[in-house]
Structure 1
Amino acid sequence: MAKNKGSSRKGLMLVVLLLVLALGAGGANLYVLWSQSGKTQASELEDMPAAEPVPEPPHYVALEPFTVNLQSSQYDDRLLYVVITLGVADEQSKQQIEDYRPHLRSRLLMLLGEQEDEALLASGGRQALAEKVLALFDEPFAERLTAPQVKEVLFTEFVIQ
């Protein structure tokens, strides 16, 4: 019986030793797999192109309608009714236009009143007027101010009668 006890102990020790080795090998295998999958995900993220910055939303300032008499060689009275929306570069320019709206309206009324009906009706006449309106913003509204950055002039309504 003594031999049976010794051999059963040796067999039990062998089984425990094999079980510990198997668990250790399995644990090492899981560790290697997890560490590699983390590296793979990190390298995949590095390989992805950098996300493009989200462009800032456009800033627009809608002006009240303008009605002015046009210069005309053929007709006695010609009227221009126009609604202008300005595309500005940033919130600061938008705020400056809002703050100095009376100055801007005065400048625009003088510019629009100097226009000739034939020039506005000709091909490219409205584009030329838009460029003249943009040129109004080369000068600041008041001393010690920078001119607002106006990027585009949009005519949302344009009627010559």
Structure 2
Amino acid sequence: MSTTRKTPWLLMSLFILLMAAGSAAGTWYYFNNVERSEAAKVPEAPAMVNIAPLTVNLQSAQHEQRLLYAGFAISVGNKATQDFLQPYVPQLRSELFKLLGEQDSSQLMTSEGKTALAAKVLTLVRKPLTTPQPELSILDVLYTDFIVQ
């Protein structure tokens, strides 16, 4: 009679131990995979094409001598675009000299003027540089230097 009474407790104890071990194993597996997936989701640093600062004479309504010193970084979506644009930086600088020289100094002093100029530069950078040209992923134009004097 004592053997039959111990058997249910022994089976229940064994079942509880198996459940605890399974729970511990599942928790360990979950946290190890969450750490790996979070490490895999870390975004890459954006690819940039830097354009050295340019100094240009500006137009002024009062016919004063004004200068603009501006540098840019082109944010691109992939390494292929970055590699494609790098040899064309001198061509981009030449086009930027022309564009920046047409700007009015009083407009560039305002935040709206700087935003409008960045949009113009973005349009300029997105123009085809060669024929045929592969599909480029140009995301944004950022100022790295900006002085109006």
Normalized against structure 1, the TM-score is what? Answer: 0.68
- Higher relative contact order, chain-length normalized (CA < 8 Å, sep 6+): 2
How many residues of Structure 1 are paired with residues of Structure 2 in the alignment? Answer: 137
Match of 2:52, SS? coil
Distance 1:33 1:127 in 2: 66
AA aligned to 1:69 is N
Partner residue in 1 for 2:75:
87
Q: Root-mean-square deviation (CA), in Å? A: 3.3
Structure 1: runs of 5 or more not aligned: 1-24
How far does residue 102 in structure 1 lie from its aligned partner after superposition?
1.7
How far does residue 66 in structure 1 lie from its aligned partner after superposition?
0.4
Partner residue in 2 for 1:103:
91
Q: Percent identity?
A: 36
Q: Please tell me whether residue 153 in structure 1 is matched to residue 141 in structure 2.
A: yes
Q: Which deviates the most, 127-136 or 84-93?
A: 84-93
How far does residue 38 in structure 1 lie from its aligned partner after superposition?
5.3
User: Is the 1:70–1:78 Cα contact (8 Å) retained in structure 2?
Assistant: yes
Match of 2:144, SS? strand
Partner residue in 2 for 1:40:
23
Structure whose alpha-carbon radius of gyration is higher: 1
Partner residue in 1 for 2:52:
64
* Alpha-carbon spacing, 1:114–1:146, altered in 2? closer, same or farther (3 Å): farther
Normalized against structure 2, the TM-score is what? Answer: 0.73
Q: Please tell me whether residue 55 in structure 1 is matched to residue 43 in structure 2.
A: yes
Distance 1:80 1:134 in 2: 18
User: Is the 2:60–2:106 Cα contact (8 Å) retained in structure 1?
Assistant: yes
Match of 1:72, SS? coil
User: Is the 1:137–1:149 Cα contact (8 Å) retained in structure 2?
Assistant: no
Structure 2: runs of 5 or more not aligned: 1-9
